[in-house]
Amino acid sequence: MSRQGLPEWLSTALPDHAAAPQNLAQAARQQVETIGLPGLRDEEWRWTNLRPIHRGNFKTAQGASEAQPSEALPLENAIRLRFVDGALQSIPDDLPDGLTLVSLADADKATRTAAFSPTPTPNTDDPNDALVTLNTAMAHEGVVIDVAANSVIERPIVIEWLDGATDGAMSHPRVLIRLGQSAQASVIEQIESVGDQPSWRNSVMVSKIAANAALTHIALGLTGQARLTTERCFASLERDARYHSYNIQLGGQVTRREYDIQIDGTGAHSDLIGLMMPRGKQLMDTHTRIVHAAADTTSNEHYRTIADESGRGVFKGRILVERDSQRIQAFQASNNLLLSDTAEIDAKPELEIYADDVQCSHGATIGRLDEEALFYLRTRGVAAAEARGLLIAGFAQEVIDEIPNEALRGWLTERVQARLAQRPDATTGA
């Protein structure tokens, strides 16, 4: 199968200089020019068609903008970093002790090298990883978040991704998060469209979590109909480190998020929790890979999708237990609700296990609302449409309830409920 190479508009947009160290950027550029964008024939992309990107003719946007998010998240004292079409607007100055924020462009070479050397290491020859390679070749903006050892940053760090301020804008930002020993921080991504024309952001976030440190990472894909986002998050965990990820996707035309978790130290733990609610013609796709590379490590994964109208939800989760990684507990569940006959759900929960003393399981379900639960509610005098609404909301709520921030939980609950109230067939039953 011959590969197509990059679309011309993208090939000509490849810059001579990028934030990555010259050798890395150069190699990435050559690689991606031969490999091109991933296609449906590449295993990791069989359910996600990047055609809207292929024919997008996106351009790197220039200059700052006055763009604002639709609503500020209900977080007190948040430290806000705003990216408009991938360009960092400014770095806040009143930072708590132990927290350092540096624009990627201003970071020293060692830091930039770290930002472009994620663990687990993507394979630059592999078409499935082509978007990371593209990001390495293109990235010139981004931020480095450093938390010193033993520092607990109480204030949430909010990264606002405001896409589409310029029509047809594309961006390839890169974020590096480093937590020193026993440090703690929470990073919240607020993802919004500020225009109604297509935009494409292909970002990479690299988290390195030192021993006994804990990172909470919340991603909120909110507004936007024409927004295309391809995002990849890497996290490596040392001894007893913890990584808690929450991924809530409501907006965007095509949203592809990938999590690559490398558990390198004993006693470390990773949580991957997510809710995707595609409707209209939205495609929401999450791919996760967890590598248990050390003994006595645990992971817990729970994803839910509610696909309505012609929406499409894709979930792929892989758990890999390496040889000699004994006494592993890894659980994964993917539960999906299909509310319409034009919606689609695709799931692929994978286990790849090379050690014998493990307890690993995964479960995947696809179904509709429980008829008995509906019947029960109706016998209690709840109207059919309302009963359906309650059950769907309850299904979503179980994910939202896991988010470790009360104000955010309440705010999201309202958003999800408002979204469900707009269901056109709420009274007809699907």
Chain residues in the site for another protein (CB under 8 A): 1, 43, 47, 323-324, 326, 336, 338-341, 343-368, 430
Would you say 146 or 258 has its CB closer to another protein? 258
**d(C-alpha 221, C-alpha 16), whole Å:** 32
DSSP type of residue 74: S
* Residues 40, 44, 47, 53, Cα dihedral to 10°: -60
Minimum CB distance to another protein smaller for 315 or for 411 = 315
Residue 317 CB, nearest approach to another protein (Å): 11
The nearest distance, CB 6 to another protein, in angstroms, is 24
For another protein, which is the closer residue by CB, 1 or 418? 1
215 vs 343 by CB, closer to another protein: 343
Closest approach, Cβ 390 to another protein, in A, equals: 18
**Closest separation between CB of residue 292 and another protein, Å?**
12
Separation between Cα atoms, residue 28 and residue 48, nearest integer Å: 23
**How far apart are CB 177 and another protein at their closest, in Å?**
31
* Closer residue to another protein, CB minimum distance, 262 or 336: 336
Two tokens, residue 358: 């493990």
- 299 three-state secondary structure: strand
Instruction: State the minimum distance, in angstroms, from the CB of residue 318 to another protein.
Output: 9
Q: Select from 66, 59, 94, 70 the least CA-distant residue to 80.
A: 94
State the minimum distance, in angstroms, from the CB of residue 108 to another protein: 42
Overall size of the chain counted in residues: 430
Instruction: Give 114 or 364: the residue with its C-beta nearer to another protein.
Output: 364
8 A C-beta contact, residue 212 and residue 186 = no
**Which CB, 269 or 368, lies closer to another protein?**
368
Q: State how far the Cα of 149 lies from the Cα of 240, in Å rounded to an integer.
A: 14
Give phi and psi for 193, each to the nearest 5.
-100, 140
Residue owning tokens 């000699």: 324
Q: Hunting for tokens 């592993």 — which residue is that?
A: 328
Where in 13-141 does DSSP place strands (E)? 59-60, 79-84, 87-88, 99-103
